[in-house]
Amino acid sequence: MTPPTHTTVAVVGGGPAGLLLARLLHQAGIDCVVLEHRDRTYVEQRQRAGILEQGTVDALRACGAAERLDREGLVHDGVELRWNRRSHRIDFPSLTGGRRVWVYAQTEVVKDLVALQLADGPPLLFKAEVTAVTGADTEHPVVQYTHQGRSRTLTCDYVVGCDGFHGVVRKAVPEGQLQTFERVYPYSWFGVLADIPPSCDELIYAHSPRGFALHSMRSPTVSRLYLQVPNGTDPATWSDKQIWDELEERFAVDGDWKLRRGPITQRAVLPMRSFVTEPMRWGRILLAGDAAHIVPPTGAKGLNLAVSDVVVLARAFTERASTGSTAGLNAYSDTCLQRVWRAEHFSWFMTTTTHTAPEHSGFETRLQLAYLDRIAASSHAAAELAENYAGLPIG
């Protein structure tokens, strides 16, 4: 099949944001083309977040992409906080009017969306490398790309950059038109995957004098765990025993809870950073997901913010198609940035409240512990955490 030479929306990036946007546009009868520079295998194996907010699950269900999620996803009604050998559970449904989260890996979300796209959606071109985006200040921008050894040109009405932080679309905006805000944290996450059933039913966020730790899961038989480590840590320098011993120390709590140990199959060090681009639109270029913003993983917001971006964007494109109004597209950046900055703040709060920074004195540590005590004692403080974690309304 010869790729189209013109479309209404050119979607650059075939990750969850680009694929979900294409699905939503397809449902609305709006033509688009998805260009992804990696091959299908790489895209479907690219490891990222695995916590889905209520609004993300609702969006996937609405577009027919949640059949396997509803069958295999792990529903979580809360998280557990640990500090000073204490534990406190935050119950999401009782504090948020029934909202909850799901553990379902991003790889699986992508597989589900790819299958739908290839079955009955608009064109999805793998190994299509975008080399330039021009004419964004005209009515018909041009996307130049290579595919199957040939240089090709795609004209469109709008270009949506879902191609991540290092993508080409944001770079197509003239210098000086975008403002960026960034924070790099002085620590990283050392993440491991282990072939052992989780030691908990829900996620554990642990504050410890030795640093932060997180107990999560990939499935009922596979555990995902994280340790706070200094930036630049080489994961190969840690033995399996050192990893399990350190996790056990940081998760220590009064009572009979035990950390299960098992073979570690994957390990990687993840940097922690926050990044926001303003505005999220210039001319006929619109940015979504990691192309526009990055959050540290502590608040589980990255994938969910990308979903909220494209849900808002799809509504705006649908409004334009059905009424001719571009009001939603004109408001896209302002609408999304309100939620983006709320998520940035929550991610910063979860990070700085649970991690021990190198420069921390006893004073900063006491402030952290005091706020954790406050969450345990106050339903209002607990509700604020629950509402943000389970996800604020989209749009």
Residue 357 confidence (pLDDT): 85
Residue 382 confidence (pLDDT): 98
Residue 8 confidence (pLDDT): 98
pLDDT one-digit tens code per residue, 29-39? 999 999 999 99
Reduce the secondary structure of the chain to three states and give it as a string: CCCCCEEEEEEECCCHHHHHHHHHHHHCCCCEEEECCCCHHHHHHCCCCCEECHHHHHHHHHCCCCHHHHHHCEEECEEEEEECCEEEEEEHHHHHCCCCEEECCHHHHHHHHHHHHHHHCCCEECCEEEEEEECCCCCCCEEEEEECCEEEEEEEEEEEECCCCCCCCHHHCCCCCCEEEEEEEEEEEEEEEECCCCCCCCCEEECCCCCCEEEEEEECCEEEEEEEEECCCCHHHCCHHHHHHHHHHHCCCCCCCCCCCCCEEEEEEEEEEEEEEECCEECCEEECHHHCEECCHHHCCHHHHHHHHHHHHHHHHHHHHHHCCCHHHHHHHHHHHHHHHHHHHHHHHHHHHHCCCCCCCHHHHHHHHHHHHHHHHCHHHHHHHHHHHHCCCCC
- Residue 380 included in any domain: yes
Q: Are residues 367 and 227 in the same domain?
A: yes
Q: Are residues 228 and 337 in the same domain?
A: no
Percent of the chain with pLDDT over 90: 93
The catalytic residue positions are: 76, 205, 297, 301, 389
Q: Are residues 307 and 221 in the same domain?
A: no
Q: Are residues 374 and 330 in the same domain?
A: no
Q: Are residues 249 and 139 in the same domain?
A: no
- Residue 86 included in any domain: no
- Residue 89 included in any domain: no
- Residue 203 included in any domain: yes
Residue 80 confidence (pLDDT): 98
pLDDT at residue 110 above 70? Answer: yes
Residues 321-326, mean pLDDT to the nearest whole number: 97
Please provide the average confidence, as pLDDT, over all residues in the chain.
Answer: 95
Residue 49 confidence (pLDDT): 66
Q: Are residues 248 and 279 in the same domain?
A: no
pLDDT one-digit tens code per residue, 50-70? 899 999 999 999 999 999 999
pLDDT level of residue 121 (50, 70, 90 thresholds): confident
- Residue 338 included in any domain: yes
Residue 1 confidence (pLDDT): 66
386/45: higher pLDDT:
386
Residue numbers of the domain that contains 67: 6-76+101-182+273-350
- Residue 92 included in any domain: no
Domain count, the chain: 2
pLDDT one-digit tens code per residue, 268-295? 999 999 999 999 999 999 999 999 999 9
Residue 227 confidence (pLDDT): 98
Residue 46 confidence (pLDDT): 77
Q: Are residues 57 and 162 in the same domain?
A: yes
Residues 140-151, mean pLDDT to the nearest whole number: 96
Q: Are residues 68 and 156 in the same domain?
A: yes
Residues 190-211, mean pLDDT to the nearest whole number: 96
